Amino acid sequence: MFKKWIAEFIGTFWLVFGGCGSAVIAAAFPDVGIGLLGVSFAFGLTVLTMAYTVGGISGGHFNPAVTIGLAVGKRCPGSDIIPYIISQVLGAIAAAAVLYLIASGKTGFTAGGFAANGYGEHSPGGYGLASAFIAEAVLTFFFLLIILGSTHGRAPTGFAPISIGLALTLIHLISIPITNTSVNPARSTGPAFFAEGGWALGQLWLFWVAPIIGAVIAGLVWNAFGEHD
């Protein structure tokens, strides 16, 4: 079991460090910044690479909503939920801390939003609470369905990480303007501790509640209509 927890810690660390790191350091780099498209692919690539790297150890969740949704969908034992979530959150916080240490080494650095998720005045596109909640729940719902389908025994072997990574890329392409894209409570928690002003911690509840609701519904829908191994 300990190996599974370490795998989830490492995978979530890489997701936050790579995805949020691309947003904080590379997105707006003068003349050659990677922008929204680059950040979207960075998040997808973190999941794709770590799913291949440690997915065989822990299942490659890297996301509390995924763990809960897979448990509801009967793909993950309930006994894994709490230790997996703890490992994921610790990995996300550790990654955000390391990213902060690196980013703060730049002359004139200010943390600003630090790639945190938000709504209202903290939404990149000015979207309100209702829009943010619906987007996070719906996108997490589809993310879980894709995970459940891609990892089904009848799906082509060895391609699940590609499908899942591309799904996360698409999700970011859709929702970065809305919330900066979460669909992952751990990903939201890490940067929230380092964003200026404390607002990210105040809005963090939405990025736990909405993704988990979407994930639970996906698990229930899979149970009702999907095929089981």
Domains of the chain (ranges, CATH numbers): 2-225 (1.20.1080.10)
Tally of CB atoms within 10 A around 85: 20
The tokens for 190 are 């890490």
Rounded Cα–Cα distance for residues 214 and 218 (Å): 6
149's CB contacts (< 8 A; 6+ apart) are: 155, 226
pLDDT per residue, tens digit, the chain (229 aa), is: 799 999 999 999 999 999 999 999 999 888 888 999 999 999 999 999 999 999 999 999 999 999 999 999 999 999 999 999 999 999 999 999 999 999 999 998 999 999 999 999 999 999 999 999 999 999 999 999 999 999 998 888 889 999 999 999 999 999 999 999 999 999 999 999 999 999 999 999 999 999 999 999 999 999 998 766 6
In this prediction the pTM is 0.96
- DSSP E strand boundaries for 13-169: none
Q: What is the pLDDT of residue 96?
A: 98
Q: Are the C-beta atoms of residues 126 and 118 closer than 8 Å to each other?
A: no
